[in-house]
Amino acid sequence: MPRRPRVARGEDRAIRAVVPSPLQLDGAAQRVRDEARALGLSGWARSADDGGLAVHAEGTPTAIDALIAFIAEGVAHGGAAGVEIEEVPLEGHEQFALRGVSAGAFVVKEHAASTHHFDMRLEVAGVMRSWALPKGPSLDPAVKRLAVEVPDHSIEQNGFEGPTGEGGVVLWDRGLYEQGGRVAWPEALSRGHAVFVLHGEKLRGGFALQRTRPGAKPQWLLVKRRDEQARPASDVVAEQPASVLSGRTLEQVLAAARRRDPAAPGAAPDRP
């Protein structure tokens, strides 16, 4: 059963804390997470690229004060003057998460079968959760792309590329992803609104999957979040068609299969 969403109470407050890099020790984000969870707080902690630490915490004033003291003494070791604390609006987080750590692998395949489509897959609990995207992903936040949920695939298939019985597949993008949003991962997927950050070769930054139609073949919309990696008015599928594995396009894979076997199925050479 999904946990009941935490309901913010009237007196709750939220802070952002930043600890500059010279004061931080290894594992600080994990220790802040553990302390925040013990205090009943929600939010996140992230180790910054420069080694510093950033924290968003929300909950009761007493617990917030206790976490501030923990950060000043337990993380900054009394160097509290170097810790920046800012009161910020409540965001409604339902968990205290560790940010900036991988949740698993992701791949995007371009697939010619009975239809031409893209397959986006996210590693969740030892399998690849999968969505078929008729038009593929987009880096334009104004574009919503249909994503039809399909059965899980095995992780072992992630690296496959080449001709198949009914066409062919190329590995269009790959990398790691991290959870985002305010809801625990992967519970966010079962609730039908999942935010995640892709660290791929073509797809980078925050994305949201919103389930719009439940049922036997649930339909979702994939949308790029507005961040530094967003590319308004771009068409990444058209601009970067080559496989990240081989550099080949799907057309080249299909053409090579046809040369070996002229009767092989696949898209016609002049497919638009």
* Cβ contacts of 262 within 8 Å, gap of 6 or more: none
| Residue position matching structure tokens 């625990």 | 184
Report yes or no: 118 and 83 within 8 Å, Cβ to Cβ: no
Nearer to Mn ion, 36 or 250 (CB): 250
Q: Is 119 a binder of Mn ion (CB under 5 A)?
A: yes
Smallest distance, Mn ion to C-beta of residue 25, A: 46
Minimum distance between the CB of residue 259 and Mn ion, rounded to whole angstroms? 24
Helix (H, G, I), strand (E, B) or coil at 29: helix
Of 18-26, 116-124, 201-209, 221-229: span binding Mn ion (CB under 5 A):
116-124
CB of 219 to Mn ion, least distance (A): 16
| Residue 48 vs 245, nearer CB to Mn ion | 245
- Helix (H) or strand (E) run with residue 67 in it: helix 61-70
Nearer to Mn ion, 33 or 145 (CB): 145
Beta bridge partners of 194: 209
8 A C-beta contact, residue 140 and residue 129:
no
Minimum distance of Mn ion from residue 239's CB (angstroms): 22
Is cis: bond before 272, omega within 30 of 0? no
Compute the least distance from the CB of residue 23 to Mn ion, in Å.
49
Q: How far apart are CA 207 and CA 181, in angstroms?
A: 10
Considering only residues 86 to 115 of the shown chain, the ones binding Mn ion according to CB under 5 A are: 111
Q: Which residue is nearest to Mn ion (CB)?
A: 111
Q: Which is nearer to Mn ion, 157 or 234 (CB)?
A: 157
Number of residues that bind Mn ion (CB under 5 A): 2
The sign of the CA dihedral 19, 207, 237, 113 is positive
**Nearest residue (CB) to Mn ion, 88 versus 113:** 113
Enumerate binding residues for Mn ion (CB under 5 A). 111, 119
